[in-house]
Structure 1
Amino acid sequence: MLDSVKQVILVLSGKGGVGKSTVSTKLALALKDRGFKVGLLDIDLTGPSVPYLLGIENKNIFQSSEGWVPVYVDENKRLGVMSIGFLLNSRNDSLVWRGPKKTSMIKQFLSDVHWQDLDYLVIDTPPGTSDEHITVMENIRTVSNRGAIIVTTPQAVALEDVRKEISFCRRTGIPILGLVENMSGYACPHCTEVTNIFSKGGGESLAAATNVTFLGCLPLDTSLGDSADSTVIPEGIKQSFENIVNKLLSLKGESANIMTEQASESVPSAAGGT
């Protein structure tokens, strides 16, 4: 049920372990805190972490006459969440499904969840480029205002995989809203000074080289672990997320230009790749 969704934001990563789900959840919270109505869809079927990251693991989803009802994290129902994690008995349970069943589940999530009117639907995806990603790309084409945020870390191996993710987006016709560099230095909990643990500036340099907007950096912050199961953005990274949201909102007027430029590099169908 995407007819009532104004904008879809896919959160992608070339590798696992770069903090993509953390970025997805905190981005959704930051947009909610701005007063927007937001949906957060977790399609990482074999590793659903969004319910844990928001402290809503034990919640149940219900079927209504209009579809599945998402789990809301606030009384005002400004942030609704849907994840396969709500359908498992325990987050330790493994999901052993072949590709066609995964594809069917994702299609059901995209068509049968009753989001109501949303300003943003943030979709947390698995790492890499697989059947799940192609299914999402093909099923959100009806949403005219759509785009992807790519998450990386400063390490060279992660940056190399970002190039593949950028290529995937352009071949499937999904505009890239920007790149976020996560784990960009360590923020001291006592003096807030940031020390670079990995190399510095790789994400920003890659964004410039590939003509992608650089949305900003997120430092490693110990308070992030303490707030892993809450709906609060830690103070140590709150301003960084505010800056990222500000850039995203400033891109809103440019989205048509972004789509036009990047569509020229796309292929007609995701299934048409080699």
Structure 2
Amino acid sequence: MNSPHNHQVKINATKINMEYKNQKVGNVNASSTQVTLPFQPLSLVFYHINYFVDMPKEMMKYGVTGKTIQLLHDVGGVFRPGVLTALMGITGAGKTTLLDVLAGRKTGGHTEGTIRIAGYPKKQEIFSRISGYCEQSDIHSPNLTVYESLQFSAWLRLPSNVKSRQRHMFIEEVIDLVELTGLKNSMVGLAGTTGLSAEQRKRLTIAVELVASPSIIFMDEPTTGLDARAAAIVMRTVRKTVDTGRTIVCTIHRPSIEIFEAFDEQ
């Protein structure tokens, strides 16, 4: 779907240069109203990751003398394009911590180790433009419709040279991908009271990240708090997203057999 021959994406250790242009998707008979913003399938490799934070003052009351506490110890792995990877472990194992470290979301503490994107050292200012992060809590403005939520994200995160018509068509494609077409004019509402259901809000969270056309997406427990049917719907959306060639990594806790088998690697 996103062959390197269809667009120009140059990546090196210091910058990524992207040229956005109209493209047909699917076969040569695809509708001229379809547009796909380019992204380059990228691998993420990390090794010898160690993460330290300052020792909490409460711990010192119990005789602990160290100045730091280590939360991640010599962690390594690889995430590949088109592969849905699960980070599994008990509560407190460090799943979300690892995800946050790899995504560059940790502003405190000290990180050691190597992270490479497509073979090049990771540069956070570049990485933030080619990656997305779906938090466990779905935070959306209750006073916007589904379409307006995606439009707001697209205006903020897509390059300024993306034309309005192209942006509109891309948003429509994302809505179709996450199966929210019938709800695009519905108000988001308040969680648990009005508006979208829990699994619909989760799919909206995924869509908000997709409109930025990221190559790599991190998802923190996308099925938490959902019943079996809702979780299956969300995982179907995740599966369709990774099938576009993106790299997707999910933390997951106590999955059902069906959810576990939806992943390519654990």
TM-score normalised per structure 1: 0.33
> Comparing both structures, which one devotes a greater share of its residues to helix?
1
* Structure index of larger Rg: 2
